[in-house]
Structure 1
């Protein structure tokens, strides 16, 4: 299934390795270095216009999303339930 990350960017939900809150990453020096490294390698895509709320990690690209991590996780979970044929209440 597809997962909308914001700014008209859609990826396959199966490609998502992690969805993280941006504030948790900013608090970590190691995570900040991780983001800077990917930004310099041009494998970081900012969809938020410098107002990121979450980070979505795939095997090829790191996305900064304007949507919260909880919103993205819920969307991914809802789609997973649909794939498995479960009913959403």
Structure 2
């Protein structure tokens, strides 16, 4: 199964670790550190030209998605329910 993150980016559902609203990056020191480390390792990808609304953490990469975390979570939940 696959999850569409926006633009032309699709990931395998099995790679998904977490989906967060972008505000967590501003409100959590741990999240800031995590994203900072991912940036140092060049494991961050921004999807599309639109403003990012969510952070998607996978096994190998962190994505900034223009799709809201609520919508992405619904997509992920639909996969687990089928």
Change (3 A) 1:65 1:31: same
Paired with 2:2 and 2:12, the residues of 1 have a C-alpha distance of 5
**1:86 corresponds to which residue?**
none
Change (3 A) 1:77 1:53: same
Superposition pairs of residues 70-81 of structure 1, within 5 angstroms: 70-81=70-81
Query: Which range moved further: 36-45 or 49-58?
Result: 49-58
Q: Which runs of 4+ in 1 moved over 6 A?
A: none
Query: Which range moved further: 19-28 or 1-10?
Result: 19-28
**1:5 corresponds to which residue?**
5
Cα offsets for 1:28-51 (capped at 9, x unmatched):
122112212211211011114372
The size of the alignment, in residue pairs, is: 82
Cα RMSD after superposing both structures = 1.4
Name the TM-score, length of structure 1 as normaliser: 0.82
Cα offsets for 1:48-84 (capped at 9, x unmatched):
43721111111100111111111000011112222xx
Superposition pairs of residues 18-33 of structure 1, within 5 angstroms: 18-33=18-33
**2:64 corresponds to which residue?**
64
Give ranges in structure 2 of 5+ residues lacking alignment. Answer: none
Give ranges in structure 1 of 5+ residues lacking alignment. Answer: 83-89
